[in-house]
Amino acid sequence: MAKSRAGRKKQSKSTFGPKQIIIIAVVSIVIFGLLYLTRQLAGNAVAFRDIHGLSFSADGNQLIVPAHDGLRTYENGQWHVPDVPVHDYMGYSGTDAGFYSSGHPGPGSNLINPLGLVRSGDGGESIQTLAFAGETDFHLMSASYESHAVYVLNPRQNSQLSPGLHYTLDEGQTWTQSAGRGVSGNPLQLAVHPTEANTVALATEGGLFLSNDYGDSFVQIGNLVPVSAVSFDPNGERLLFGYQSLFSYTLADAQISPSETPTISNQDALGYIAINPVSEQIAIATFNKDIYLSSDSGQSWETIAEGGIGKN
């Protein structure tokens, strides 16, 4: 009986020889290698906790995305996290000389919370406070691309501004309140003409509205309701706007035309629109943190971020 058991034990060992061990080892190495690579790629993926704006750099080389925890950039098909101080930018607006913003300072910053109105001319490496530090976080604001006029929708009384629409032509030193007549629906986004400081557009739940008198009176453009995103072309010739589809409004002849738009679900909508100042690129971001890029003025699109994760 003992001999029979020993024989069976010996036979069992012989079916699990060196060749099988090598195969199992190789397979294990491959599996663990793939798991490690997957974790590394996931860990290195550029993510967006929130998207608070969208712009191209003045040279057109970078798409810039302000997020809850600092800036993200997209250049030559790759996403990057710039090595600059991390702030929670709100009301971000890109210009030919950098950007204007509001929001909250990042961890370890010596800036006062909230930021009020700030400006950066070096890609966020340094921030200059212009007004209302420690007083107001402007979620709805916009700056003219070249004239640098800044419009804000002030949510509540601060040391200088009552609630409502205001603008400054001198970097926040003096402010003027706009009457805002003719607007209906809750405001969702602002856009200022790149050179004409008196021209401002307002996207609301009631549609798209345009003013040529510093926001004192607005007229409705088209009948699309609601409008969640609006942006002036850097050359000042048209407005791009939309909700779940993109449209173009030509200022010279007041014509509205539809543009090709990526498929956006019924549970999503356009959040931000950016137009490259030196090329035919257009970028759009949605509330669900998808980002699309077109290199041919909106005729075709590629997905460069999905659900808040950048795609390289």
pLDDT of residue 17: 55
| Inside any domain, residue 123 | yes
| Inside any domain, residue 42 | no
| Inside any domain, residue 232 | yes
Is the backbone peptide bond immediately before 114 cis, with ω within 30 degrees of 0?
yes
Instruction: State the Cα–Cα distance between residues 98 and 94, nearest whole angstrom.
Output: 6
pLDDT of residue 204: 98
| Inside any domain, residue 12 | no
Please give the torsion angle defined by the CA atoms of residues 58, 271, 103 and 157, in that order, rounded to the nearest 10 degrees.
120
pLDDT of residue 51: 97
Instruction: Name the one residue in this structure whose structure tokens are 């959040």.
Output: 271
Instruction: State the Cα–Cα distance between residues 115 and 92, nearest whole angstrom.
Output: 12
Q: What is the pLDDT of residues 121-134, one digit of tens each?
A: 999 999 999 999 99
pLDDT of residue 246: 98
At 210, which helix (H) or strand (E)?
strand 207-211
Structure tokens at 79: 């996403």
| Inside any domain, residue 95 | yes
Q: For the chain, what percentages of helix, strand and coil (3-state, to nearest 5) are there?
A: 15, 40, 50
| Inside any domain, residue 20 | no
| Inside any domain, residue 52 | yes
3-state secondary structure of 33: helix
pLDDT of residue 19: 56
CATH number at residue 278: 2.130.10.10
3-state secondary structure of 264: coil
Chain mean position to CA 95 = 14
Instruction: State the Cα–Cα distance between residues 196 and 139, nearest whole angstrom.
Output: 23
State the chain's maximal CA–CA distance in angstroms: 106
Instruction: State the Cα–Cα distance between residues 167 and 149, nearest whole angstrom.
Output: 7
Q: What is the pLDDT of residues 4-51, one digit of tens each?
A: 444 444 444 444 454 553 454 444 444 444 433 333 344 468 999 999
Q: Which residues of the chain have pLDDT under 70?
A: 1-44
pTM of the model: 0.86
Question: Amino acid letter at 71?
Answer: L
Quick check: 36 and 28 in contact, CB under 8 A? no
What residues make up the domain containing 265?
48-310
At 201, which helix (H) or strand (E)?
strand 200-204
The structural domain count of the chain equals: 1
| Inside any domain, residue 16 | no
pLDDT of residue 45: 86
